[in-house]
Amino acid sequence: MKNIVLFSLLLTGFLGVSQQKTTGDVPLSPNNGITANFTLDNTTSKVTLILKGPSDRWFGLGIGVSAGFSMSAGDAVVYSTATTPNLTDRNFQGTFQPPQDASQDWTTVSDVVSGSVRTLTLTRALTNSDPNDYQMPYATTNSISFAGPRPATATNTVGPHGGTANVGYATASFSTVLGVNDVHAPDNKIVLYPNPAKETVNFKNADKIKSIDIYEATGRKVRSVKLNGENVSVSDLKSGNYYFEITLKDGTLSFEKLIKE
């Protein structure tokens, strides 16, 4: 009976499991007025990029690249009101105007100007077959480096950015965020985090937990644990999906899914 319950949960999914991780807003250094925010969504298999830059000129972001990026090849998105569409998917190959990719994979969700700042909300598949695109598989993308160029003076003609002072760099780590159902979960709901996890899993409302049984996705029981404090070590688990059958002190059961990296 227990295996039937576990397989039913596997088929229907776990609405309370967090399936997003984000860098938050990251300013480029030295400060050139550009910030980037990457959010990876494992449910939709999409990445959302919130890119902010000056509203009076073109600017871009090299993805998966670090300092010195302008002298080497790299995936890039560039915004300019002088091009159609304004947002283009490109590949930097040096200090000259980067050519547009044959496949334009980014979609502009919104383009908002407030004062001197333009805020772009963009989306793209986490992974695709375009060799020029930086691939971001959810399970293994835990950090990302990027660089943002802009010209020294106001111009919408995409070209050399005009010196290293107009390029900023950053490397950011991803942090798991609560899903929609977690945010609105009752105060007494059991929630495990971070998810995915590498070493340790923490529990919201841990004081309500009596015991925990951990199962593989096949339904095979891995082990039983008694919570000591508010967390449990999962460092010994192999990478994959696991299901936690949590027995509460009031006798009820709670089922949570964990993605082990």
pLDDT in tens, 139-156: 899 999 998 889 999 999
Phi, psi of 229 (to 5 degrees): 95, -130
pLDDT in tens, 205-254: 888 899 999 988 777 889 988 787 888 888 888 888 888 888 888 888 88
The whole-chain average pLDDT of the chain stands at 83
Angle (CA) 209-200-215 rounded to 5° is 60
Structural contact between residues 54 and 118, judged by C-beta atoms closer than 8 angstroms: yes
**Is residue 54 reached through a cis peptide bond, with omega within 30 degrees of 0 on the bond before it?**
no
From edge to edge, which strands make up the β-sheet containing 200-204?
A: 191-193, 200-204, 231-233
In which band, very low, low, confident or very high, does the pLDDT at 40 lie, cut at 50, 70 and 90?
very high
**pLDDT beyond 90 at 63:** yes
